[in-house]
């Protein structure tokens, strides 16, 4: 989830070109991500954390309660410190300035790649 269609497209392309993961969908807001996630069989959700951060944390918490098996990764351009915890709903939080390679490294740590069919 990201509010920018260009960012969503770039992330999707990067993930699909550099990993064996398949992106099952992209959305622009918290309500849509909850709906899309419950309709699809995704394994991990990437949430853009933007001010107000509390909205993103509420979305992560809702995702965690509805889909406890799904990994939730926050991707932020602001320094959030370490807010990764079961209480926040996030399995990991990555700073955008750490780069896309850090994102892929985190995805692989949370969910080993499986071959594409």
Which domains, ranges and CATH numbers included, belong to the chain?
5-110 (3.40.50.2300)
- The pLDDT tens digits of the residues spanning 48-59 come to 876 555 677 888
Measured CA to CA, the distance from residue 4 to residue 28 in angstroms comes to 7
Please tell me the predicted confidence (pLDDT) of residue 94: 86
Beta bridge partners of 93: 74
pLDDT band at 114 (very low <50, low <70, confident <90, very high): low
Q: What percent of the chain has pLDDT over 70?
A: 83
Q: Phi, psi (5° rounding) for residue 81?
A: 65, -155
Q: What is the per-residue pLDDT for 117?
A: 45
pLDDT: which is higher, 7 or 78: 7
81 or 43: whose pLDDT is higher? 43
What is the residue whose two structure tokens read 């969503």? 8
> pLDDT tens digits for 8-40?
888 889 988 988 888 888 888 777 888 888 888
Least Cα distance to 63 among 36, 99, 100 occurs for: 36
* pTM across the whole model: 0.80
Residue 81 pLDDT exceeds 80:
no
């Amino acid at each position: 989830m990201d509010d920018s269609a260009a960012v969503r497209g770039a992330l999707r392309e990067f993930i699909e070109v550099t990993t064996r993961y398949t992106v099952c969908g992209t959305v622009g807001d918290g309500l849509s991500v909850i709906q899309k996630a419950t309709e699809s069989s995704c394994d991990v959700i990437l949430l853009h954390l933007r001010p107000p951060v509390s909205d993103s944390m509420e979305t992560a918490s809702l995702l965690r309660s509805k889909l406890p098996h799904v990994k939730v990764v926050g991707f932020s351009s602001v320094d959030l410190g370490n807010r990764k915890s079961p209480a926040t709903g996030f399995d990991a939080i990555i700073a955008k300035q750490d780069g896309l390679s850090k994102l892929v490294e985190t995805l692989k740590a949370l969910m080993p790649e499986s071959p594409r069919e």
